[in-house]
Amino acid sequence: MQAIVLREYGPPENLKWETLPDPEPQKGEALLRVRAVSVDLFQMEFRSGRALQIPLPRIIGNGPAGEIARLGPEVSGFSVGQRVVVCNNISCGNCKYCRMGRETLCAGLNNHRGGMIGAHRDGGYAEFVAVPARNLLVMPEGVSFEQACLIPNTIGPVVKACSARARIRAGEDVLIIGAGGGMGLHAIQAARACGARVIAAIRSPRTAQACAASGADVVISTRDHDLAQEARRLTEGWGVDAVLDFVANRETLQASIAALAPGARLVIMGYFPRGGILETLTWPFTEEIEVTGNRSAGRQDIAQCLALIQNGRIAPVIGRTFALKDAVAAHKAFEAGEIVGRAVLVV
């Protein structure tokens, strides 16, 4: 098969187009014929060596979508030809967190016994990948491979953040900071799907149109406005009921706290919120505010997203597609900030 292989951590050029033997599905695994795989922040962090230091070579790529090509031994409940999307996290299914339905906190993920497809074991930047059958979710009619591959790392985490972490209810006001990014544009849609009014905060006016197209009710530029003041002005002085902060630096975190209404929730977003320091007086906590984070998407979140896309509540924003062999160009475009929404590699 043809695949993109990373042999040394570094710049996009380190992604090499190579011919390798097809993988063999082991016990409990399925062989996936990959059709689409997303280009997002995790692959940039992994490729550069900033995320993890795992021995290479590795075929990178998280959450591919495709068709089941072959089933390994002891797999039931699936059949060859089914259209599926892959959950990244290899959770154990048995630990305290898996048992209580919070498999993204699985103890096996924390200590890398299970790990992530596309990091701890080969991923989806390839024509074929063998994955645990337990990680497969069958795609409904009306959802394309290109759309589905954006779920595991992008749409899934923001849907989970809105529903499980921020617990957004109909009629609430939600402030999204960094709304113009690949995750932010989908967060606007997810918050709207929960019934919220969405205030989208962006730095550059370049993404204002995309925010509006994703359903933002108000778009404000952080260059022109004091975020917290504007959030209070738009809510008759109360403040917003939830903030999703995708930027999460000292400045935005302070603005986030100041923008919260009594009883509101702040969710610190992103896989790699580096260097952010949350500085606050303790008095906001007497207003019963909650501060939390959000880690990846589990199978339940992915299933929820498949339904949201199928019924039209969320429309994946695919800015550009590339052929798999052009992964270097796709990574360069991502890092240059040229992609609106997400880029997809088509296999």
Residues that bind Zn ion in the complex, under the rule CB under 5 A: 91-92, 95, 98, 106, 108
Q: How far apart are CA 153 and CA 64, in angstroms?
A: 10
Do the Cβ atoms of 100 and 28 come closer than 8 Å?
no
Minimum distance of Zn ion from residue 107's CB (angstroms): 5
Residue placing its CB nearer to Zn ion in the complex, 87 or 95: 95
Minimum distance of Zn ion from residue 24's CB (angstroms): 26
Q: Which of 89, 149, 112 is nearest to 300 (CA)?
A: 89
Burial of 52 (0-12, 13-18, 19+ CB in 10 A): middle
Minimum distance of Zn ion from residue 97's CB (angstroms): 6
Residue placing its CB nearer to Zn ion in the complex, 104 or 304: 104
Q: How far apart are CA 187 and CA 164, in angstroms?
A: 13
Q: How far apart are CA 82 and CA 63, in angstroms?
A: 16
Do the Cβ atoms of 54 and 70 come closer than 8 Å?
no
The secondary structure of residue 57, as a DSSP letter, is P
Minimum distance of Zn ion from residue 33's CB (angstroms): 29
Residue placing its CB nearer to Zn ion in the complex, 7 or 112: 112
Q: How far apart are CA 225 and CA 231, in angstroms?
A: 10
In the chain, the amino acid numbered 104 is T
Residue placing its CB nearer to Zn ion in the complex, 104 or 294: 104
Residue placing its CB nearer to Zn ion in the complex, 97 or 128: 97
Query: How far does CA 160 lie from the centroid of its chain?
Result: 10
Minimum distance of Zn ion from residue 165's CB (angstroms): 19
Minimum distance of Zn ion from residue 185's CB (angstroms): 31
Q: Which of 49, 44, 43, 48 is nearest to 88 (CA)?
A: 43
Query: Quick one: residue 81, left, alpha or beta (phi over 0 = left, psi -120 to 50 = alpha)?
Result: left
Residue placing its CB nearer to Zn ion in the complex, 54 or 92: 92
The interaxial angle of helices 327-335 and 41-48, nearest 10 deg, is: 100
In the chain, the amino acid numbered 117 is I
CB atoms within 10 A of CB 193: 19
Burial of 336 (0-12, 13-18, 19+ CB in 10 A): exposed
Minimum distance of Zn ion from residue 135's CB (angstroms): 13
Residue placing its CB nearer to Zn ion in the complex, 92 or 213: 92
Residue placing its CB nearer to Zn ion in the complex, 219 or 297: 297
Minimum distance of Zn ion from residue 96's CB (angstroms): 8
Minimum distance of Zn ion from residue 156's CB (angstroms): 18
Do the Cβ atoms of 164 and 295 come closer than 8 Å?
no
Residue placing its CB nearer to Zn ion in the complex, 41 or 95: 95
Question: Residue 58: which H helix or E strand, with range?
Answer: strand 58-59
